[in-house]
Structure 1
Amino acid sequence: MVRTAEKKQEVTALPNPLAANGQQVNFELRAQVPEKLVRDNQTYKLDIYYEYGLERENIATYNFQFGEFIYEEGEPTITRQLSFPYTPKKKEGRLMVQGRAIDNKDGDIRYTDHKQVATGLVTTPLLLVRNNEFDFIPDTYKEKANQPAKFAFFFEENKTELRSNLGSRLQVLDQYVLDNVEAQSITITASQSPDESGSKLAEKRAESLEDYYRKKIKTLDYSGKKVDIRTSAQKADLDLLLQRLQASALPSEEKAEAIAILSSDQSQIAKLSGLKQTEAFSYIERYIYPSLRTASVEMNYNRSRKTDYELYILAKKIAEEKADADQLTEEELQYAATLTPLLAEKRKFYEAAVKSTDKWPAYYNLGVVYNEMARKDYRPEAKKALLDKAIHNLSFAGFRNPTPHVYYSLASAYHQRGDMLEALQYYDFAIKLGPEESVLQRIFADKAALEIEIGQYDEAIASLRYAGDSYQTNMNLGLSYMLKENYEGAERYYTRALELKPDDALAYYSMAVIGARTQNESLLKHGLIRAIQADRAYMEQALEDPEFDAYRKKESFRDAFKL
């Protein structure tokens, strides 16, 4: 069996060399063996592994027994999509296979020779630009904390019932029910999208929230506080739709076309019908209409403030468990955390705020602390553990205050940890909440970076249409087009990125890769020279990059290193 396998088995991997995408190296491996290797008393298996340096990472095993393979061209064949995690130290390695012939009776094993089937790794898909930066609540929080707390509930189309999957958000209201204050003033403002059929949907949505809160007061509140709830409904006309449309991330031409329809003298029915014929409608249907099917709740409190010195001293005592937590409110405790530059001290203050108040700003800022600590830690396992804690706290902040900023922060934390599906979900949540245009562009830009990392280049290009004309947008458009082998389009976007950020090393290096792929040695040479001049780290990267393998001995490549 071993001799037959070594002579006649065929194993191929695509792509070759392997390519890194985000956190993973994905590839297809096809193995075909002679039919005589399929026997009742013996088993033939093929081990697939990646070898780099002195390390070996096992990936999969193909088992050539009935039920495990199909016949192609009359021979047993297994084809699977495989992957393994990417780390920089795996850049230079080999995808290897080794066969095993096993005697099913006595367990005796014979091995084939090791065989290389692919080299690795092309890292061009990693030449993207991400932001993923989010910060603490601004230092002006002391003043802003006096403003009403606001949070929104979303309803399904044409529905007024509170959705069953909002359990964690409804806990927000439960926490306000339990607040030990003399009085509460609550305003509920509901709306509906103009495409919905019911004429009183907004009023009924506001009533649903009011009924829920009053029932909880009867069940959970023992303080006898006075509760004043006022409800209002926004008309289901086109004014709100127009406001959201003007603040959207739509390209200017599509936005202008939709605004022109809404500003015309047609009837509302005709306007809504006209919108369906525009290129902007898919965005409106996915991101704007759902943002109008809401009921927002506003809680208003008045609380006195201590001096910064008193806040800091008391907060430190609370964090050290030398003073009772109720000596400071949540707002006071978390504001005290802004008075120290030390992350370790901030963490203690916010942890104390979480324990004593259980409110969203403390959770959010504690999440930011852990995210900042993760950014400064270069140990992979420690970094992941810190991001776990960041996500835990940001999730609780999102339950209590589901705003675009909080959800973008949560998406960014998931993105940095490599949980792409969760990150994508929260990017979409943040978009649907309808933030201002600059925030929308930032969210779409990072969402597109994620889509590039998971190989969804068409989706990335679609997202980047709403991301503005920034350096990040043009760099990632250039990369998306290059990975789709549209090199002319890629070069155009990289040129624009260099207009926005002259002498950028990454942009010039990307241009050099285009030169290598299109056999344009002049572009290759110029791009490498400018990249290395801007950042000498690209010299080592170019020397190891498989993109330039065909040019190692050419003058155009060697001249780039004569600085």
Structure 2
Amino acid sequence: MLCYKKNYATAVIYSLLLLLLASGCTLQKMTRLAKKQHITVQPNPLVANGQLVEFEVKASMPPQIVKDGYRYKLDLYYEYGEQQREQVGALNFEFGEFLYENGWPTITKQFSFPYSPKKNKGTLYVQGMAIKKETDDVKYSEPKAIATGLNTTPLLMVRNNEILFIPDSYAKEADQPAQLTFYFEEDNAKLRSHLGSNLSVLDQYIADNVATQEVTVTASQSPDEAGGMAQKRLEALEKYYLSKAEALNYNNKKISLKKLPVKDTWAQVTEKIKASALPKAQVQEALTIVNSNTSDKEKDAALHKTAAYEYLQLYVYPGLRYGGVTINYNRNQKADYELYLLAKQIAEEKAPADVLTEQELQHAATLTPLLAEKKQIYEAAVKTTNKWPAYHNLGKVYVEMARKEYRPKAKQALLAKAIHNLTYAGFRNPTAPVYYSLASAYHVRGDKLEALQYYDYAIKLGGNPDELKRIFADKAALEIEIGQFDDAIESLKYAGNTYQTQMNLGLSYLLKENYEGAREFYNKALELQPNDALANYSLAIIAARTKNEAMLTTHLRQSIKADNNYTLKAIEDKEFDAYRSEQAYKDAFRP
């Protein structure tokens, strides 16, 4: 019996050893098979675009790599600097995760990782892992480099994204009337309480504790709407104000409401076209039709046939579907030192909020250069007034704080707060400058689709020509970042003849590989800013791509001469890899 037990125990141990050896052999066999893998990366080298490096990996494995009880996994990571490693993602060759292509299990997947300049010199690796599911035993394959370095040429766009404080006009406008604008949907006179609504702000004005209120309402419509729509909007505003005032009037203030005549549609179209970003020829063509002695229907039909009509539909007509309310107040002014001290006390909850008006709080914030103090005062203004300038300027402060923040998570948190406040400013005052600020905050944060949406919305609201040109210019920069080069070129038609416009047209054509066109625009940029380092550097890239050695030497030398930071950039740039040993490249670094 004892002998039997010994033999049984030996058999069990032997069986386990066989299982382990079989498992090890299977894992080893899978890693050997994986050496036949086919892996491609697009683009290669990787390309930095905006705040991300985005690319596609396609991996095909031998069919035998798929086994019951086992799985094969490819880990992707990017290695840069002094052994810094960033995990990028993984490809799992399990059923449901791959498709067969020519009989081989194949996965095509998009990946991305955050961009920073320190990652310019790095390598994307893939490392295989054969795994037994039951025991989690693992056999690793040797890491394989599949892409080296980053091409940063798409980052050479010029952006502005300057969010401005709402101009401080306290001294000038303390006694001026408050003006609120309400936008309506097409062929609709219903006041909206969602995006773009000023209703909550209007309610606060109605409830303000003042002796008298003189109120004026007006309205408008676009040419493509049914007749009488503006009048319906005027009546809707009048009805809302009077009914709400009756419900909220606790102190028997005197209210007088005046209705202005409905605004002339074609006169407003004329103003909007003159203030648009349309090319001069299209402006003239449209104005000729608008000011002709034809019927409304004939004018609208004629505009349909113009090159400007799409712009009118997108960016002019929506801004004509509005109603306006003007409320006249009279208030006394306090001295600056008194305003500052009272604002600090309100911010610290040492004084009641109603000791200062909205305009007084806004002005007090301009009296300190410290962002932390501005933030406190604007926060108090938001809390006590709930009005759009406070939200907008608090958002501006958060953006400025984010620009100075070097910690990524803290920076993102500050930008999230900026976006929150700028969104509320947009709800209360839907105008082109406010939505440009919101779009810029999203752009700075790297939220590209949201930024594009709000650039577009800002343009639709309309504004003065300079404002619209700024918006179109930064919208184009974003379109370059997301690879929509044709859209960027279209947007830049309305961005004016500025340095930013010429530089971004040059980059758009460069990335479309139209090097002759790109060269023309970069030379125009140099006419506006002679000896500009970035324009010369971009021309050096064109020279490298077109194998023009004399041009490469000239422009790379001028770029480095204008800004020595381009020395290191040129040394690391993948665009010049083919020229490292060439005399034309070496000559560029000589004085």
TM-score bucket (shorter structure)? over 0.9
Counterpart position of 1:108: 137
Larger mean Cα displacement after TM superposition, 77-86 or 166-175 = 166-175
Change (3 A) 1:473 1:373: same
Larger mean Cα displacement after TM superposition, 488-497 or 231-240 = 231-240
1:138 and 1:162 map into 2 onto residues whose CA distance is: 29
Which of 374, 391, 412 is equivalent to 2:402?
A: 374
Letter of the structure 2 residue corresponding to residue 321 of structure 1: E
2:186 and 2:229 map into 1 onto residues whose CA distance is: 10
1:105 and 1:372 map into 2 onto residues whose CA distance is: 53
Counterpart position of 2:5: none
Change (3 A) 1:323 1:265: closer
User: Is 1:447–2:462 an aligned residue pair?
Assistant: no
Letter of the structure 2 residue corresponding to residue 71 of structure 1: Y
CA RMSD of aligned residues (A): 1.9
Which of 418, 429, 434 is equivalent to 1:401?
A: 429
Counterpart position of 1:124: 153
Counterpart position of 1:274: 302
Identical-pair percentage = 59
1:558 Cα offset (Å) = 0.7
User: Is 1:326–2:358 an aligned residue pair?
Assistant: no
Larger mean Cα displacement after TM superposition, 352-361 or 446-455 = 352-361
Which of 160, 181, 184 is equivalent to 2:213?
A: 184
Larger mean Cα displacement after TM superposition, 210-219 or 429-438 = 210-219
Structure 1 residues 183-222: aligned runs within 5 Å: 183-196=212-225, 198-222=226-250
1:220 and 1:52 map into 2 onto residues whose CA distance is: 64
Change (3 A) 1:167 1:400: closer
2:319 and 2:532 map into 1 onto residues whose CA distance is: 38
Which of 538, 547, 550 is equivalent to 2:575?
A: 547
1:167 Cα offset (Å) = 7.9
User: Is 1:46–2:81 an aligned residue pair?
Assistant: no
Letter of the structure 1 residue corresponding to residue 171 of structure 2: K
Structure 1 residues 487-502: aligned runs within 5 Å: 487-502=515-530
Larger mean Cα displacement after TM superposition, 516-525 or 169-178 = 169-178
2:471 and 2:153 map into 1 onto residues whose CA distance is: 23
TM superposition score normalised by structure 1? 0.95
SS at match of 2:373: helix
1:554 Cα offset (Å) = 0.4
Structure 1 residues 416-427: aligned runs within 5 Å: 416-427=444-455
2:33 and 2:74 map into 1 onto residues whose CA distance is: 10
1:280 and 1:57 map into 2 onto residues whose CA distance is: 49
Superposed CA deviations along residues 377-436 of structure 1, whole A, max 9, x for unmatched, are 333333323222222222222222222222211211121111222222221222112101
SS at match of 1:68: coil
2:159 and 2:485 map into 1 onto residues whose CA distance is: 15
Letter of the structure 1 residue corresponding to residue 35 of structure 2: K
Q: Please, which runs of 5 or more residues in structure 2 have no aligned partner?
A: 1-28
1:128 Cα offset (Å) = 0.8
Counterpart position of 1:383: 411
Counterpart position of 2:590: 562
Superposed CA deviations along residues 185-217 of structure 1, whole A, max 9, x for unmatched, are 222211111111x21100111222333333433
Letter of the structure 2 residue corresponding to residue 109 of structure 1: V
Change (3 A) 1:367 1:123: same
Letter of the structure 1 residue corresponding to residue 258 of structure 2: R
Contact persistence 1:491–1:514 (CA under 8 A): yes
Counterpart position of 2:376: 348
1:107 Cα offset (Å) = 2.2
SS at match of 1:448: helix
1:532 and 1:145 map into 2 onto residues whose CA distance is: 52
User: Is 1:95–2:124 an aligned residue pair?
Assistant: yes
Q: Please, which runs of 5 or more residues in structure 1 have no aligned partner?
A: none
Contact persistence 1:70–1:78 (CA under 8 A): yes
**Of the two, which has the highest radius of gyration?**
2
Letter of the structure 2 residue corresponding to residue 381 of structure 1: K
User: Is 1:146–2:175 an aligned residue pair?
Assistant: yes
Counterpart position of 2:6: none
Counterpart position of 1:503: 531
SS at match of 1:25: strand
TM superposition score normalised by structure 2? 0.91
